[in-house]
Amino acid sequence: MSEDRKWDVLRAIVEDYVATHEPVGSRALVERHALGVSSATIRNDMALLEEEGYIHQPHTSAGRVPTDKGYRLFVDRLATVKPLSPPERRAIETFLRGAVDVDDVMQRSVRVLAQLTNQVAIVQYPSLTRSTVRHVELVPLESARVLLVVITSSGRVEQRVVEVAQAPSESLLADLRSRIVTATVGRRLPEASLQLADLIGTFEPADRPIVTSIVTTLSQAFASERADERFAVGGAANLARFGHDFDSAIQPVLEALEEHVVLLRLLGEATSSDLPRVRIGSETGLEGLSSSAVVSSPYGSADEALATLGTLGPMRMDYPGTIASVAAVARYVGRLLADG
């Protein structure tokens, strides 16, 4: 059997099994696909594919179904990814454009991705350690209080109210804001936090108590809860329609979705690559997900990835369609956050 025909036969088996969830026989392949050979030849080809571990026979007298190895070859040999329809693309853009803040973007992203793929959608919040300071504002309030507002490059808005020893003058607040902006805007949050420590000593001793309170609170805002440990998850109910696709109960999958460490492992590290990553069965590294597959993609700007998003579903999934949906949502989310 030539490599080209091996691929044609395997591709046909995967496509038919994904569509029907029924073991695929040689006669069905001949009838549904223009393979150009007889049913007997296809049976021989299937025997070789089974011998090489790409397909297996679930029970006697049945057709064949793909193995982890077969799905992997299918994904690796995908020449094209099923394009999204114009209505699907417009729906993604319109739905995400209505978001009012980062939390809303994350929630809308999992909803649209779960609807597009009929799988579980997982979106990692933008990483604070990768974000830079975009804007800082100091707003005087009544009763010797100051409102601090920080906006990051990922669109995250952090607000803190500081109680100071006495109401700061407008000139002091304006000077402090100017120096903070110069020291922090455009820098990553961890670096910006370090830059703030040097500001206190540059002010007059009489102003330092006020400056210290504001700078300390601002540093805490920069170093607040790590956003890369936060996730939005949606579409878990979609697992019910695929219950028969999992070798064991769905419970291990649901438990995995509750563990942030597991979600980090499933989605993988955010890299500058914009290509979706596909992990199938044992490639997930989790025994309870041996019948699952994960498709993930980084999102962010053209220069740097902020985090990752993806889907979890059965191995018997529409890989071309899922890859296209994950990639499209990642592009829109990255563009939306970059436009801020």
pLDDT digits 0-9 by tens, 39-66: 888 889 999 999 999 999 888 777 899 9
Whether CATH 3.30.450.40 fits 86-127+227-339: yes
CA angle 263, 283, 84 (to 5 degrees): 70
What stretch(es) of the chain map to CATH 1.10.10.10? 3-73
pLDDT of residue 243: 66
Cα dihedral value 130, 263, 277, 334, nearest 10: -40
Distances in Å between the Cα of 220 and the Cα atoms of 10, 212, 223 are 56, 12, 5
Cα–Cα distance measured from residue 49 to residue 72, given in angstroms and rounded to the nearest whole number = 14
Decide: 66 and 54 in contact? Cβ < 8 Å: yes
Specify the CATH number of the domain 3-73. 1.10.10.10
What stretch(es) of the chain map to CATH 3.30.390.10? 133-222
CA angle 36, 37, 39 (to 5 degrees): 130
Question: In the chain, pLDDT over 70 holds for what percent of residues?
Answer: 93
Cα–Cα distance measured from residue 339 to residue 153, given in angstroms and rounded to the nearest whole number = 9
Question: What mean pLDDT value characterizes the chain?
Answer: 86
pTM: 0.75
Looking only at Cα atoms, what is the longest distance across the chain?
93
Amino acid at 238: N
Phi-psi region of 157 (alpha: psi -120 to 50; beta: other; left: phi over 0): beta
The contacts of residue 224 (CB under 8 Å, 6+ apart) are 128, 158
What stretch(es) of the chain map to CATH 3.30.450.40? 86-127+227-339
The residues pairing with 64 across neighbouring beta strands, listed in sequence order, are 24
**Which region among 189-198, 265-274, 304-313 has the lowest average model confidence (pLDDT)?**
265-274
pLDDT digits 0-9 by tens, 56-115: 988 877 789 999 999 999 999 887 778 888 888 988 999 998 888 888 999 999 999 999
pLDDT digits 0-9 by tens, 216-258: 998 887 766 444 468 899 998 888 877 677 656 677 788 888 8
Beta strands across the sheet bearing 277-280: 231-234, 120-124, 305-314, 292-300, 277-280
Decide: 161 and 147 in contact? Cβ < 8 Å: yes
Q: How far is CA 201 from the centre of its chain?
A: 43
Specify the CATH number of the domain 133-222. 3.30.390.10
Q: How many CB atoms lie within 10 A of CB 189?
A: 27
Cα–Cα distance measured from residue 89 to residue 221, given in angstroms and rounded to the nearest whole number = 36
Phi and psi at residue 304, to the nearest 5°:
-155, 140
